[in-house]
Amino acid sequence: MNKRVVITGMGAITPIGNNVQEFWKGIKQGKCGIDKITLFDVTNHKAKLAAELKGYNPEEYFDVKQARRMDRFCQLAMVASREAFKDSGINKENTDMTRVATIIASGMGGLSTIEEQNKNLVLKGPDRLSPMYIPMGITNIAAGNVAIDLGLKGESFCIVTACASGTHAIGEGMRLIRHGYQDVVLAGGAEAAITPTGIAGFANLKALSQSTDPKRASIPFDKERNGFIMGEGAGVLVLEELEHALKRGAKIYAEVVGYGASSDAYHMTSPSPDGEGGARAMVNAIKDASLEPEQIDYINAHGTSTPLNDKTETMAIKLALGNHSKKVMVSSTKGNTAHMLGAAGAVEAIVCANALQEGYVPPTIGYKVKDEECDLDIVPNEGRNVNIKYAMSNSLGFGGHNSSVILKKWE
């Protein structure tokens, strides 16, 4: 018999709030975290905007030596993980730490470290590379450092599926608990790719918006959308076996009831044009949760604001939900946070958990021009106070990686 999985802790650091409470407040206020890039000189760059963290100072969280030995993406993973772990109330007295797993995903890993050290190689020679280059740059190091920091001795690994990474981490974490391999999993994602090569690479791929107006840059499902805006941050959830959580009197935010994943097997960067791959991930999640499509109340869409994604995701939702697609509420919160790549799915799962708990469906902000090809109920500009029972979160990544998770309101 499958074990039930609940969320007992959450942590986040985002462009609209440096903890879960601030982040959710920003969502409800319709706050947009997009502005001019300040982390480096963008004079010669096509894309000038991003959603950077506001007021983040590593020295408020780490000593100087510790901060210098971690890439920015790893720092953010640690900040969100510490918040989630503290929030959960788990400790050595109430939990066997050998049965607590760590799955911290990332799409790009230590990009700023790789850039910096490559400059040293070219300009100063191989002997001038930092001995910390490899342990700072590798993508799995966030999971490793979080496990070390919190003393988590269960399974520890990293999932890299581009923009689907964070959702895959939650889904695979759920499976570890459901099938009895672990009691608790810290699952989430972290990203810090607002760097010269990160911005130039996505811009030259023609994936980034070159808009100079922060309010009209990340505009999911709007007919005038022209690319995504890069965001940075991290989101981490504590997943826990239900009986374990009840036994220690934990507070419960929501239940994770379904997970589905699929591959487009179509193209390196473009989604399958009929939305079939994304639809299969959603259908798989609905079946995994033993639900009917009509029971899904809200979908937090991948909704990146690229012409292809929003069109094909609309098609995918229609394929997966059939006639119910006309009724289901669908919004993208990337107008608030921009696209946090491998962290997006984890942060958006936190949105879903809060939406279920508070009975509030967040809007798709910045929406002005209707697109006939994106004709779902996208909750434009104004959130809705409505009681919902099931929320689905979608993530679709380069390489054709699709993942969906379904959360249920805890009652």
pLDDT > 70: what percent of the chain?
A: 100
Predicted confidence (pLDDT) per residue in 296-349, tens digit: 999 999 999 999 999 999 999 999 999 999 999 999 999 999 999 999 999 999
Query: Which residues does the chain have with pLDDT short of 70?
Result: none
Question: Cα–Cα distance between 265 and 393 in angstroms, integer?
Answer: 21
Q: Quick one: pLDDT at residue 125?
A: 95
| 190 sits in which H/E element | strand 184-191
Report the 3 state secondary structure along 228-283. ECEECEEEEEEEEEHHHHHHCCCCCCEEEEEEEEEECCCCCCCCCCCCHHHHHHHH
The domain limits of the chain are 5-247, 260-409
Q: Quick one: pLDDT at residue 70?
A: 97
Question: Cα–Cα distance between 360 and 93 in angstroms, integer?
Answer: 36
What is 28-63 written as a DSSP string?
HTT----EE--SS--TT-S--EEB--SS--GGGTS-
Known catalytic membership, residue 179: no
CATH number attached to the domain at 260-409: 3.40.47.10
Options 74, 158, 163, 374, the catalytic residue: 163
Known catalytic membership, residue 302: yes
- Token couple for 244: 């374990």
Tell me, which fold does domain 5-247 have in CATH?
Answer: Peroxisomal Thiolase; Chain A, domain 1 (3.40.47)
State the pTM of this model. 0.97
- Residue 302 near residue 271, CB atoms below 8 Å: no
| 311 sits in which H/E element | helix 307-321
Options 302, 352, 374, 401, the catalytic residue: 302
- Token couple for 234: 């991290």
Please classify residue 324 by burial: count the beta carbons closer than 10 Å to its beta carbon, then call 0-12 exposed, 13-18 middle and 19+ buried.
middle
User: Could you check whether 5-247 and 260-409 share the same CATH topology?
Assistant: yes
Q: Quick one: pLDDT at residue 268?
A: 87
Q: Quick one: pLDDT at residue 171?
A: 98
Options 168, 339, 352, 374, the catalytic residue: 339
Question: Cα–Cα distance between 225 and 228 in angstroms, integer?
Answer: 8
Known catalytic membership, residue 401: no
Q: Quick one: pLDDT at residue 273?
A: 86
